[in-house]
Each structure stands twice: as structure tokens, then as C-alpha cells.
């Protein structure tokens, strides 16, 4: 699994997307998934500047391809809702941060993004995420969801 307890941030108090991206990147750095946190954050923010990774329905999937990523990972945060330049103008409260090494970026990156997006398009999946209270609950839910990674 690409995600573990160390990569989960429930009820983040972040007030903007850069702050939340930094919080999640720090978790990945502390967990040994990233070697250079600033380089990785720069890659994610560059992608955000090109086109917002908010997909609507209160969901954002920021991601970055960087040589600073040692091992592919998925980090998760729930928030009270922050502005993310969303297509539907609704605040984001569910965030999955994806990190993949530049050399593996192609197929792995797309597989993670596609599988996650497919699940997040379902209202019951999003509603279930919004009721989760602990890291253990989240991991159990994601394992049962058959995300394919």
C-alpha cells in the first residue's frame, strides 16, 4: 500500500492549499519517502500553477513528479474546507497528495491518479471518507476499497 499511518493528517487546520501541501509533504519527508522536501513541494506547486488539481465535490489530488521522491507514496488530509480554485467553487475538505519518482512518473503516476479519481467520483466513497475519525479507520476503508495499488 502506498499510504500508511504516518502519511495521514486528519482535521488539518490549514487555511490554504500551499500550507496543506507543505504539511503533507513534511509527513512524507519524515517517513523517508522524500529526500528534498523543498524540491518536491516546488514540483507540486508548479503543477498547481499550471492547472488546479481540485476536481470538484470538495476533493483535490495534488501531485508532483520529482527526483526527490525516493519511494512512491500517497498522503491524505481532511480539512474543514479550504479554497483551492475548484471548478465548482466549493471548498476542498478531502486531499490526496501523490508522490512518484520522476523515473517512474509515467504509468505508475497515471495508474494511481486514475484509480483514485474513479473512486472519488462516487458520492458514497466521498461521504465515507468524511465520516472517518482515525488513521486506522482510513487505512481499513482504503484497503477494502480495492484501489488497485
Burial 28-57 (b: 16+ CB within 10 A, else e): bbebebbeeeeebbebbbeebeeebbbbeb
- Spatial separation of the C-alpha atoms in residues 70 and 101, rounded to whole Å: 6
Whole-model pTM: value is: 0.94
Residue 148 pLDDT greater than 70, yes or no: no
pLDDT mean across residues, the chain: 92
Does residue 5 carry a pLDDT above 90?
A: yes
Tens-place pLDDT, residues 30-75 = 999 999 999 999 999 999 999 889 999 999 999 988 999 999 999 9
Question: What is the CA angle 95-14-37, rounded to 5?
Answer: 75
* Active-site residue list: 63
Amino acid at each position: 500500500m502506498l499510504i500508511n499511518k504516518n502519511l495521514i493528517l486528519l482535521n488539518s487546520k490549514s487555511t490554504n492549499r500551499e500550507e496543506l501541501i507543505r504539511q503533507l509533504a513534511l509527513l512524507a519527508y519524515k517517513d523517508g519517502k522524500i529526500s528534498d522536501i523543498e524540491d518536491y513541494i516546488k514540483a507540486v506547486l508548479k503543477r498547481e500553477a499550471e492547472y488546479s488539481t481540485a476536481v470538484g465535490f470538495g476533493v483535490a489530488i495534488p501531485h508532483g513528479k520529482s527526483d526527490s521522491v525516493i519511494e512512491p507514496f500517497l498522503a491524505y488530509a481532511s480539512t474543514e474546507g479550504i479554497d483551492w480554485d475548484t471548478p465548482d467553487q466549493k471548498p476542498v475538505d478531502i486531499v490526496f497528495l501523490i508522490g512518484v519518482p520522476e523515473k517512474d512518473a509515467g504509468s505508475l503516476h497515471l495508474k494511481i491518479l486514475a484509480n483514485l479519481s474513479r473512486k472519488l467520483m462516487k458520492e458514497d466513497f466521498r461521504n465515507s471518507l468524511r465520516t472517518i475519525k482515525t488513521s486506522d479507520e482510513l487505512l481499513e476503508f482504503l484497503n477494502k476499497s480495492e484501489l488497485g495499488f
